[in-house]
Amino acid sequence: MAGSAVSAGAVAFVACKLPEHELVIESPVEMPEDLVRGEDAWYATSWGDATGGDGLIVRVMQGRAKKIAGNPDFPVNLGKQSSRYDTALQSLYHPDRIQQPLARRSKGGVASKLSWPEAERRFLDVIEQSDGKIVIVTNPLRGHLGLVATQFAGLFNGRHLAFDPVEQGVLHTAVKKLFGADRLPDMDIANAHTVLSFGADWLSTWVSPVGMSVKYGKFRGQKGHGYLVHVESRMSMTAAAADRWLAVKPGWEGKVALAIGKIIVDGNMVPAANSAAYRAHLPAGALDRVTVNGVAGEANSGISEARLREVAVKFAKSTPAVAFGGGSAGAHTNGTFNLTAIFALNYLSGAVGSKGGLIFNPGSPVVGVPDSARGASFEEWERELAQWRAGNVKTVIIRGANIVHGFPKSVDVAGALAKVPNVIVFASVLDDTAAQADLVLPEKTFLETWGSDIPEPAPGYQALGIQQPVVGSALSVDGTELLTDSRGFGDMLLWASGGGLGAADMRELVRKASDSLYDLNSATDSVSAPSKDLFWTGVLQRGGWWDTKSGVAQSGSATSAVIGTNPDGALSAPPHGEGEVFTLVPFVSNAWLDGRLAAAPWAQATPDPVSSAVWGTWAEVSKHDAEEMGIKEGDILLIRSTVGEIEALAYPHPGVRPGTICVPTGQGHEHNGRYAEKRGSNVFAALVDQKDSETGALAWAATRVRVQRKGVTTKFTKFEGNVEAYPIEPGVPILVVSPGQSAHEAQEENHEHVKREISERAER
C-alpha cells in the first residue's frame, strides 16, 4: 500500500472573518534571517477522538500547524475552546512519534524496524489466517471511522469492541430506560433557570465540556443569573462554580434524588400531571418507601434535611429546571439506579423534551454512520479477555485504546494479550499496550487524515463535523526528513478490505457522505450550493454540515417502573493491615483525561483547575482527615486496595468529603513517550472489580482503600502556594491580612501596631 494520499490543499476557512494577513512585516531588514515570513491560513476540521464533538479551526503557516482554536460557526462550541486543543499540536510534532513499523519475532522479544511493504504483507497474512477469530479494539468511535471499524470486523467474521475506562454504558442505559432514546439528549442549560447536576464534572471533562461551558455562560448571563446545585463528594471544577455544593457520600446520589422528588411530590409543588408522570417511572410504592430522614443526615447521605428541602423548593419553583448526572454518580454498584433516579426528576419539572430541559436529538444525518458510542461494559470485557486467554482469538487489532493501562490489575490484560498469536497495534507514540504488540503500525493524527464526527450530544438537530488533513506528513525540525512514515487507521482497513467496504480510502467515504447530504435537496443553515462539488467545498470550509430545521426528535416510549432496581450501593472490602480506611474516588484529569493526552508536555504542564497541580499524581483529602492523620501537603501517601497499591502526593484541602480520597486518572505509564513514562501512579491499577448490578460496568468509585503516610515528604508541584512575605521596602512592615479581610480593614485593625513598629524602627 502506498502512502495515504493527502489532499492537494485543504480549503481555507473564510466564514469566521479571520484576518488574511497574520504577519505585518514592518521592517524586513531588521528581522532575523530565520524568521518565517508569509501569510497564514485557517482550516476547519474536527477531532473525533476528543470528547464533545467540537468544531476546530487550525492555523497553518508554511505547511506547519501553529494553533488550534474553536470553530466559531460550529454549533456545539461556537468558537470556544479548551486548553486540550493545544496538546493536539504536540501529538503531531511529538519527538517520540513512532517512525516506521515495528515487529517482534517472538512474544516479548525486541521490536525491530520493518518496511511498510513488509508490514503490509504481514498485516494481510495475519487477517487471512485468522479464520474469523479476529477482534478490533478501539476507543468509542462515532462517524465514519466507527463505521469502518465495525464493517471491517464484520467482513472478516470478527467483532468490534470499544474500550472506555470510565464510561461503559451506564449513562446511555439510563437515558434509554427512562426516555426510550438511543442518543444522549442535549442538556439545555442555557435556557434553564435551575440546574441540578450529580457527579458529572461537565465544566471540565464530562461528555461535552466546551459545549456545555458555552451554555453555562448563557445560563449565568440571563436575568437572575441562574441557580446551579451540584452534588458530588469532591469539589470539582463544576462544584466550585455552583451556587450550592452538596458533598454527598459516594453511592448515595440516587437516594438523594429520590428524597428531593418525594419532598416535591408530598408538598404538591408541581402540577399533578408532572407528579403522575414521575410516579409512573418509579416501581410501585417506591416513593412511599422513601423517608427524607432516612436519607438526610451525616449518618446517611451526609446532606442535611434543610439542604434537601431547600434544593427541592428551588428545583420545583424556579423553572425551567433540568437535572442530570454522570461521572462518579454512575460509577457504583447501584450506578444505573443513581442515574435513572436523577434523570427522572425531569418529569417533575416538566423538562422532558422542553426548552431549558432535555432536548432529544434526531438520528445520524448519513444513513448507517454511527451517531452514538460508548465503551463495552467491564463484564463484557471480562468475557472477551477469557476468550483471549483460552486461545479462541487469533488476532487482535487495537487502535486508540490503551487497555493495558486502563484496566484494573485484577483482569491482567497483558497476560491475556500474551495468549493471542497476533497482536497488532496502531499508535502514534509507543504506549503500554503497543509495547505488548507483535506488530506496531505508526498512525497518523487527526490533523493528517480524513474522517467525520457526529456530536453526542448533538445540539438538538442533525450535525456532522468533517475532519480533513490540514497539513502534510510531519517533517523533522530541519525539514529534511519525515518525522514519521505513518498511515491512517481507517485508510489501512479500507485498503486491506480490498474494496469490500465500498471505498478506497477515508476521503472517498467522507465525500460520498457529502454527496448524500447534497441529495437531500434542502437548504440548511450551514451550506447551500448549486452543485455537489461546490457543496463539498462549502462543507470543508465550514467544518461540517448542520441543519437547525431538521427537527427535534421526541423521546421514545419508555416503559413504566424503569428506575434501577438496586438502590443500595456496595463498597468493596478494604484490605487488611495498617492505615485508615477511605473510599477511593478517581476523577478524570482536566489536562490528560484518562491518559490519552498524557504524552504531551503541554498537558502535563496544564494546572488542575482545583489544586493547580502539574506533572504528577496527587491525592486530595479533607483537611479534617489530614489533621487526624498528621498528613501535610507533599507527604507521600500509600493507597492500598485488595488488588494493588499506588503512591500519591498528599493535597489536603476543604473541598473533599471526609472519608474519601480523590486521585486523578491518566498517569503511571510504563511506556508513553519521554514526558509521561514513569511519571506518577496509575489509579486504575488499584481499582477492585466491582460492577454496576444492571449493566456490568466497572464501579470505579466503589473501591475502599487503606491510606497511610510513607514517611517521606517531597515538593508538591503546583501553581498556587503559600508565598512567604518579604518587605518590598526596607523599614516598611508587612501588613498581615486575615482570611475574609480587606486590606483597608487590616490596616485599621493593625494601625496602632504598625504605627508603633515604624516608630521603633526609626528610633533604632
Instruction: Judge if pTM exceeds 0.75.
Output: yes
> What pLDDT does residue 220 have?
94
> What pLDDT does residue 2 have?
41
> What pLDDT does residue 195 have?
97
Place of cell 448519513: 366
502: left (phi over 0), alpha (psi -120 to 50) or beta: left
Dist. CA 19–CA 15, nearest whole Å: 11
> What pLDDT does residue 234 have?
93
CA atoms 176, 246, 315, 216: torsion sign = negative
Q: Do 355 and 188 touch, CB atoms closer than 8 A?
A: yes
Q: If you write DSSP's letter for every residue of 546-573 in order, what string do you get?
A: EETTS-PBPP--PPSS-S-S-----PPP
HSE (side-chain half, CA atoms, 13 Å) at 730 = 1
Phi, psi at residue 112, to the nearest 5°? -115, 155
Dist. CA 731–CA 747, nearest whole Å: 17
> What pLDDT does residue 108 have?
79
> What pLDDT does residue 403 have?
96
Question: Residue 485 to residues 147, 446, 621: CA-CA distances in angstroms?
Answer: 25, 15, 46
> What pLDDT does residue 47 have?
92
Residues 6+ apart with CB under 8 A from 749: 741
Q: If you write DSSP's letter for every residue of 325-392 in order, what string do you get?
A: E-GGGGSSTTHHHHHHHHHTHHHHHT-BTSTTSEEBPP--SSTTS-----PPPHHHHHHHHHHHHTT-
Residues 6+ apart with CB under 8 A from 458: 53, 76, 183, 186, 361, 362, 371
Domains of the chain, earliest start first: 183-359 (3.40.228.10), 580-713 (2.40.40.20), 724-764 (no CATH)
Residues of the chain with pLDDT under 50: 1-31, 35, 723-725
Query: What is the torsion angle, in degrees rounded to the nearest 10, for the CA atoms of residue 732, residue 736, residue 737 and residue 739?
Result: 160
For residue 683, give the C-alpha cell. 489509579
> What pLDDT does residue 11 have?
44
Packing angle, helices 116-128 and 489-496, rounded to 10:
60
Q: How far apart are the first and last CA of the chain?
A: 86
